[in-house]
Amino acid sequence: MKQQKNHNLCLVLFTLIVGGCIRNDASEVQQLPITPIVENLVPSLMAEHEIQGMSVAISHNSQDYFYNFGVLDQESGKAVTQDTIFEVGSISKLFTVTLATKAELEGVISLDAPIGKYVDELTDSPLGEVPVFHLGTHTAGGFPLQLPKQVQTKKSLYEYYRAWRPEHPAGKQRHYANPSIGLLGLLVAQERKESFVSLMEQGLFPSIGMESTFIDVPDEALDNYAWGHSRKGEAVRLKPALLSNEAYGVKTTSADLLKFLKLNLSGTDHSNSLSNAAYQTQESYFETEYFQQSLVWEKYEYPIDTCNLKEGNSNKMILQPSPVTGVEAQKSNHYVLSKTGSTNGFGAYVFAVPSEDFALVLLANKYYPNGARVETAYRIAAEILSWNAEYCE
């Protein structure tokens, strides 16, 4: 059995950090090589951005490490643990495309087929002619980041999709968007003849061993569900909305999310369809200025150019279209996988280097800038993997 290191870091915030403790399962104080860099970076990050609680999970060379800081909400003062549930925003999209690649491997759909083959409402429409994989690569032809406000029902949603007209041909521009990945989730659920939530909560999550991961957090788990904190300091949680389940609705723990990242480190295994499905999401489809676009994953060359990592996670890449070209050949096995996720009250980031057997999860119960998440993750990885620790200015 793989050994797991379990650490609980206790600290007091907003009077700066006045104390801390590290404890393993035997309650013996133990300093590991990874510990100092996490202790140095995360508390200062939290103080700078006034974050109430964070959970950090790291896997390296088959060893798992957990570091937990602060509280899940101010009122209760309950300490964050690796079992605290956080909203992860657009990291949810990784699960949606994994559901899609699994469906393809099982012969349920083809990502190369036109969308109209599966969605009758879109037969003989411009969107119906677009191959399905474009929904997972943000390249269908120009969707907005969010649905228009007037789209509030499933009927009006399909009317919106049918009336949609591309701004440019599919595969020419990347528009980061929730409506496109949302449609992919709806499409898979329709072909499976099961609800999207059920496919996730009764199917995908348990198959990965993610026992504390939900779209709809059940009553018995609410005590472990952190409260997020808005930019105004208000306690908030995600409210259900059209396509929220498919695009940004997952709530999970650092321990569970690390299991998902480890699945993505495992490579292809002909005996394990789930491993193969995760690996297929990493296939590169398009080149952007800074990274290769896979199915939701943003894939960077390794060794990594930190300026590419910084710019690739900038607001520009979320809010503005960017030109893409098709990928003629897959990168080698040496690459970095990156994905941010946010809701109004939470900020998350996942970062993985398959060739180094390394994965990192950062979860916070406050939205804070992507740049700060990415730089912190890079500095932790640089220390552990002996990279040049300098980061792009």
Mean per-residue pLDDT over the chain, rounded:
91
Average pLDDT for residues 134-155, to the nearest whole number?
A: 97
Of the candidates 59, 90, 212, 294, the residue annotated as catalytic is 90
Rg (CA), the chain: 20
Q: What is the pLDDT of residues 156-168, one digit of tens each?
A: 999 999 999 999 9
pLDDT band at 135 (very low <50, low <70, confident <90, very high): very high
Cα–Cα distance for residue pair 352/330, rounded to 1 Å: 18
Q: How many residues does the chain have?
A: 393
The CATH H-level (homologous superfamily) assignment of domain 83-281 is DD-peptidase/beta-lactamase superfamily (3.40.710.10)
Give exposure, 249-273, as e/b (b: 16+ Cβ within 10 Å): bbbbbbbbbbbbbbbbbeeeeeeee
Cα–Cα distance for residue pair 251/237, rounded to 1 Å: 10
Catalytic residue at 332?
no
Cα–Cα distance for residue pair 268/254, rounded to 1 Å: 24
Lowest-confidence segment of 11-20, 29-38, 184-193, 194-203 by average pLDDT = 11-20
380 neighbors 365 (Cβ within 8 angstroms): no
The bridge status of strand 228-229 relative to strand 173-174 is unpaired
383 neighbors 37 (Cβ within 8 angstroms): yes
For the chain, where do the domains classified as CATH 3.40.710.10 start and end? Answer: 83-281
- Residue 18 pLDDT: 27
Q: In the chain, helix, strand, coil percent, each to 5?
A: 35, 20, 45
Cα–Cα distance for residue pair 176/321, rounded to 1 Å: 7
Q: Give the Cα-Cα-Cα angle 261, 266, 269 (nearest 5 degrees).
A: 135
Lowest-confidence segment of 207-221, 264-278, 296-310 by average pLDDT = 264-278
Q: What is the pLDDT of residues 221-264, one digit of tens each?
A: 999 999 999 988 899 999 999 999 999 999 999 999 999 999 99
Q: What is the pLDDT of residues 319-376, one digit of tens each?
A: 999 999 999 877 677 999 999 999 999 999 999 999 999 999 999 999 999 999 999 9
Cβ-Cβ contacts under 8 Å for 186 (sequence gap 6 or more): 119, 196, 243, 246
Output the six-digit token pair for 52.
């109430």
- Residue 231 pLDDT: 86
Q: How far apart are the first and last CA of the chain?
A: 42
